[in-house]
Amino acid sequence: MDLDEIECWYSEQCLKHQKGCKKSCYKYDEIKSLMDKALIPIKMQKVHKMVVEACDKESFSELYNIKCDMKSFVAQGKSLYIFGKNTGNGKSTSAVKLLQTYFDEIYYGNRFRTRGLFISVPDFMSKLRQIIKYPDDDFNRLLQLIKEVDLVIWDEIAANNTKEYDIMTLLGLIEHRISNNKSNIYTSNCNQVEMNRILDDRLYSRIWQLSVKIELKGIDKRYM
């Protein structure tokens, strides 16, 4: 997808916004680089306006409070668990918005470094099993980046039953991040009981017990 197909995230507040201005905008270039290097899917990079249902007003208010102090949230190595049984009700979109907010605050002088990552856990696990037989230098670099970047979104964690090898790998990466004061955002359809059933006690405790928990109860809005 061409860059021009992605509406600028800052068009409503940018005084210089005009057609074609993205091609000469330092902020746009840096944010776009941060989002691309974070492996955020193109569709999720586009500007999304959330529809907030009455049942989720309090939850989105909590998310907004975190968003307003996102740089501090990351600096303190805090973690957030966004969950809800319904698909498509804003969990992943909210996580990406928080990551982008962090990018907004640190882009200046970043010099196109990788500062955050969006990890689809099911895809990550699938690739993890493949590299046992087929080593992949790019994936090994990703494993190292997961340990180093300021913030990782673990999307759809505990989406399905995981094998011992998967759990040990996730446990090692998440434990390393927590021990080094690195921030994490987890999204999941699992509540506390379901998560504890799918993950082993060690991984469950590090994710559930050490995270701020926010539940979204709204309906699927993907096709609204």
Using alpha carbons only, what angle is made at residue 116 by residues 112 and 121, rounded to the nearest 5 degrees? 135
Asked whether 144 and 177 are in contact (CB, 8 A), the reply is no
Q: Does the residue 76 lie in any domain? A: yes
The pLDDT tens digits for 84-107 are: 998 888 999 999 999 999 999 999
Q: Does the residue 31 lie in any domain? A: no
The pLDDT tens digits for 171-203 are: 999 999 999 999 999 999 999 999 988 888 999
Cα 86 to Cα 91, 164, 188, 217: the distances in Å are 10, 27, 10, 7
- Identify the band that residue 1 occupies on the pLDDT scale cut at 50, 70 and 90: very low
How many domains are there within the chain? Answer: 1
Q: Does the residue 46 lie in any domain? A: no
Q: Does the residue 174 lie in any domain? A: yes
pTM of this structure? 0.90
Range of the domain at 76: 53-215
Reply yes or no on whether the pLDDT at 19 is more than 70.
no
Under 8 Å CB-to-CB from 28, ≥6 apart: which residues?
8, 10, 21, 22
Asked whether 153 and 95 are in contact (CB, 8 A), the reply is yes
Asked whether 128 and 164 are in contact (CB, 8 A), the reply is no
Q: What is the spatial distance between Cα 219 and Cα 70, in angstroms, rounded to a whole number?
A: 27
Give the CATH number for residue 184. 3.40.50.300
- Between 172 and 20, the more confident residue is 172
Q: What is the spatial distance between Cα 147 and Cα 136, in angstroms, rounded to a whole number?
A: 17
